[in-house]
Structure formats: structure tokens, C-alpha cells
Amino acid sequence: MGSITGDWRLKAARGKKIQQESIPKQWILAPERLPPTSQLCVIDVPKESGLLSEKELIITESTATSLVDKMASGTWTAEEVTIAFLKRATLGQQLLNFATEFLAEEAIARAKELDRIFHETGKIVGPLHGVPVSVKEHIGIKGRVCNAGYVSWMDYISPDDAVVVQLLQKAGGIVIVRTNEPQSLMAWLESDNNITGRTLNPHNRNLTPGGSSGGEGASMGFKCACLGVGSDIGGSIRGPAAFNGVYGLRPTAHRLPLVGLRAAGMGQDFIHGVVGPLGHSVEDLELFMKSLLDQCPWKEDMSLVPVPWRTAGPPATASLTVGIMKDNGLVHPHPPITRALELAEKKLIAAGVRVVEWKPYQYQESSDLTAQFYFADGGKAQRSALADEPLLPQTTLALAMGSPGGLDVSTSWDLNYQKEVIRAMHHAEWQRAGVDFVLSPAYVGVAPEHGTAQYFFYTALWNVLEQPAVVFPTGLQVDAKIDVADASYQPRSELDAREYAKYSPEKFDKVPISLQLAGKRWHDEELLAGAKVVQGIIAR
């Protein structure tokens, strides 16, 4: 673990200082105007606090699609939109600690520039004109520290904006705030680190907003920004989206550029990390993808596939086949998830969708592969970056997943080939069953209590299989009266028992319930078009 000297604390404090000094002072509420720390749900605080005007509440509760419409028609200015979100984000920061750094001045300056251009030309600069965006910290911003959750990386200054940020900005998006992530980024679904500390869930501050894009999850859940940019190698976009009751997409790899992101173990190529959007509707995820891919980023970054965004029309309900996997056969979902899936099934059938049971296929094998791949180097890349600071408990748990000492290349090749075979067999099974999408839990439960999020394989399956997957709210919330623990429950394994023991209805009462829909590799367009229909039916 390396030597722990006083030094890491100084470096970490620098990160905390950047965070604190960047918070727009003019909108910080005095402690007495905030709810007591004992108040768990803070979702209604923006309305109650008096910080935001009625108009600002309407602005911050809009989707990106409607924001852009309003700015294109001259109804709202980019400046007032940006300020409204910055105010809400400042409040969010006081309540949730979701940000690592605000970019308020730059954001307002850019908003004014957009307003000037709009005023002069009568036109918006691009499809994301004036949309306030939050961006996960390890996605670099020019001239700013990019620490990826490691104290030892506090000296690294990004020489350029990450390409995904450049594309976003060219489309008119405005980065207003950078968001928190866990120490090591890898393999834990929460967001706590030695620099900026722990982020809380706006629906219940005893719960985690997820990770590793947990700052993004909280940002979207509290509506601190209109769109968010996260990254996902095992569920790091989808977990946070699910836990906060918002939308998140893990796109097919090699569609969006990774240049300018920082993480340990960058040469790991067995399971591809991706960047992707979080937002407040499927349409917004689509808007994000289209706005970026319409700029043909593959012309500059040849590691991307030259596949333009094809806007897919909504599939006819009667032509749809949805496979439903209620349980992966290894770890029982908690009662609220099962209830949501059963209700979804009924509604889909009633709407005329063909629904088939999707049996977990090679789940154990895929699960085993994942654990081996993430830390195939024996966690060396992580341990090296973590050498100077104490490990948080969940980092220790995550690092325990890998084989001590790591694999040799020969073994890693064998596993990599097995992975390819599993992908191909899974696709064949998918074709055989004739399913368009597979609906499943996004996680074993709803947002877990701090320090307890561990089992990420409901999302990681699609990373191993290299398929796109989207998470969305069902419109349902946990109901402590209905969602009682299943008396007939029998644990399948220690793992299963451990995960089921984390459930008790009262702890999660009124927390949103989300589900996950996966599509075919490369078919991100069809997945989003299908998700609009499927979510439309489920949340109806």
C-alpha cells in the first residue's frame, strides 16, 4: 500500500480547496436555510429553499430537448438557463457533495457569448445550444487538475479538453460543473475518495448515488445540470442513473472518443470502458449521441468506428419482442425490483408487445471472466496510483477480486478468447430467441446504503458482452408496505445471502425503481428508439 506520509493529506487538501473555492459564493445558502442533516430526502429542497425563482425551477426541470427549443425561439437566454442550473447545483453541492469543481465563470461567459451569437445571427450554434452539462472529473478539462480519484494524480493538469468535451462544446453545450467519483474509479458502485469525500443520494442521503459516475448520478437526480457525461466499464453510468431515478446509456464501445480521459490501466483492452450520457429522458440521451456523432469524430480519432448516428424510428409495438430476465440465477433481486419487472411484463403484454422469458445465459462464466479481467494485472496499475494514500474499504474489496500477482499473458489470451466465444454464443442465443431487447434489473436493489454497494454484475454483463444498455426510471418507488422481504426466499450462495440481507423495506422507502434495457452491439440507435416505446409503456 506504500508509505503513508503527511504528504498525501496536503495533496488531497489541494483538491478539496479547488472544490470549495469554485463554489459560486453568491448562491451558497446559510446553514439555517438548509434542511437538517437528518432529513434524508432532499429532492424537494430546490422548491422549498427559495433560492430558485419559479422560472428557474421550470428551467431546471426541463429536458435538454425542450431547453434548446426555448433558447432557439428566444424565450429563454443561455445565460438565465446557465445561472438557474448553477444555482441549483450550488444547493446540490451543499446537500450532496456531488461536485469536484464548479466552472461557473467560464460557463456564464460562454452562455453570454452564445446569447450574443444568437442575437446577431438569429440561430443557435448547435443542437446542444446553451445546455448546461456536468462532466465526471476524470474526463479532462484543459488547464485543470484531472486526478481520477487518486491523490497521487493531483499534479496532473490536462493539456486539452477531452475530445468528448470538445464535441459537446462545439454542439453548444456548456460545462458548468465537474463531478465526483470513487477512489480508484474501478469496481465499486459508490463515490467516495480521499480528496473530495463522499457524495450522497438526493432521494435519501443515507444511500449512495452510485459510482463510479456517482457525482453525475446525484447531479442528474437533483437536476444540477441538464445533461451529464459519465463513463462505464461495468455499470458506472447505469448504476448511478438507476440509483437516482434518471436515464443513462452505456453505448457500444468505439463510438465515442476516449482521448483525454484518465484512468489507471489504460492499456486494458479485454473489456472496453466507454463514455456516455446521463439525462432526464431517452430523447435527451439520443440528442447527446446524435449531436456528438454528427461531428464525425472518427475522422480525427481512427480508433473510433466510422459509423454515423442513424436516427431510428420508433418500432411498432406489435413488432417488438422483449426478453425479460427477472433474476440472473446467481443473485436474487430485491422485492421492489421484482415487483417492477412483473408489472412491466404485464403492461408490455397488455400493450401488445411480445414478451418472452430471457433465461440467464452463461452468466456464471461471464461473471467470472469480468472479475478476472478488471484486475488481470493483479491490481498493479491501481496499487501504483494508490501508493501514497490509505485505501478506502471498498477499494480494498475491489482489489481483492483480482488474482494476486495477476495473470500471465498466456492465461489472459485464453480468457480473452473465451470472452469472444461467449459473445458470439450469446448473440446466437439472442437471434434464436428472436428478441429485440432484454429487460432486466440494473442492480440487485434500488440505491444501496453507503458502504454496501458491491454486486455490479447486473450491469457488467453487457460490458463483457459489448452490448449497449440503457437505464430508465419505471415511475415506481419503493413502497415499504408492499415491498416486504420474500418469506420464501432461500439463499443460493453466500453471495446471494449477503446481497439479500441488505434489503429491508423501511431503509429504501420512496426511493425510485429503475430498470435496464439492453440491445444489440452497434445498435445504439435501435436501443434508444425501443427504450422510448418500452419505457413509455412501463411508466405509463
Residues binding its own copies (CB under 8 A) = 259, 265-270, 298, 300-303, 305-307, 376-378, 380-381, 406-410, 412-420, 423-424, 427, 431, 466, 520-522
Query: Which is nearer to its own copies, 194 or 366 (by Cβ)?
Result: 366
- From 362, 340, 357, 376, select the one nearest 457 (Cα to Cα): 362
Query: Which is nearer to its own copies, 350 or 421 (by Cβ)?
Result: 421
Smallest gap from residue 244 Cβ to its own copies (A) = 31
Smallest gap from residue 302 Cβ to its own copies (A) = 4
Query: Per the residue annotation, which of 191, 213, 236, 440 is the catalytic one?
Result: 236
Between 524-538 and 335-350, two packed helices, what is the crossing angle to 10 degrees? 90
Smallest gap from residue 385 Cβ to its own copies (A) = 12
Three-class DSSP category at 162: coil
Grid coordinates in use for 87?
A: 444555482
Phi-psi group of 153: left, alpha or beta (phi > 0 → left; psi -120 to 50 → alpha; rest → beta): alpha
Q: Determine whether 384 is an active site residue.
A: no
Query: Which is nearer to its own copies, 26 or 303 (by Cβ)?
Result: 303
Q: Determine whether 236 is an active site residue.
A: yes
The angle subtended at Cα 208 by Cα 38 and Cα 391, nearest 5°, is: 110
Q: Is the C-alpha dihedral spanning 253, 398, 497, 480 positive or negative?
A: negative
Query: Per the residue annotation, which of 134, 158, 212, 514 is the catalytic one?
Result: 212
- From 523, 508, 55, 502, select the one nearest 245 (Cα to Cα): 508
Query: Which is nearer to its own copies, 174 or 407 (by Cβ)?
Result: 407
Query: Which is nearer to its own copies, 136 or 262 (by Cβ)?
Result: 262
In this structure, the number of other CB atoms found within 10 A of the CB of residue 540 comes to 9
CA torsion, ordered 308, 423, 428, 256, to nearest 10 deg = -10
The span from the CA of 335 to the CA of 332, in Å, is 9
Query: Per the residue annotation, which of 49, 62, 134, 136 is the catalytic one?
Result: 136
Smallest gap from residue 230 Cβ to its own copies (A) = 22
Q: Determine whether 53 is an active site residue.
A: no
The span from the CA of 77 to the CA of 86, in Å, is 14
Query: Which is nearer to its own copies, 419 or 450 (by Cβ)?
Result: 419
Is 212 annotated as belonging to a binding site? Answer: yes
Helix or strand run (H / E) with residue 216: helix 214-222
Task: Find cell 450574443 and name the residue.
Answer: 116
> Quick check: 206 and 449 in contact, CB under 8 A?
yes
The span from the CA of 91 to the CA of 94, in Å, is 5
Query: Which is nearer to its own copies, 266 or 482 (by Cβ)?
Result: 266
Smallest gap from residue 272 Cβ to its own copies (A) = 11
Grid coordinates in use for 128?
A: 446542444
Three-class DSSP category at 222: helix
DSSP-assigned states of every residue in 324-372: E-S--SSSPPPHHHHHHHHHHHHHHHHTT-EEEE----SHHHHHHHHHH
Is 233 annotated as belonging to a binding site? Answer: yes
What CA–CA distances, in Å, run from 326 to 19, 105, 272, 444, 464?
41, 47, 26, 10, 19
Smallest gap from residue 376 Cβ to its own copies (A) = 4
Compute the chain's Rg from CA coordinates.
22
CA torsion, ordered 12, 14, 19, 25, to nearest 10 deg = 140
Query: Which is nearer to its own copies, 380 or 498 (by Cβ)?
Result: 380
Smallest gap from residue 311 Cβ to its own copies (A) = 16
Reported in sequence order, the residue ranges of 202-305 that DSSP labels E, i.e. its strands, are: 227-232, 247-250, 274-279
Is 235 annotated as belonging to a binding site? Answer: yes
Smallest gap from residue 300 Cβ to its own copies (A) = 8
In eight-state DSSP terms, residue 316 is: P
In this structure, the number of other CB atoms found within 10 A of the CB of residue 69 comes to 14
Q: Where is the binding site for substrate, in residues?
A: 185, 212, 233-236
Which residues form the catalytic set? 136, 212, 236
Binding residues: 185, 212, 233-236
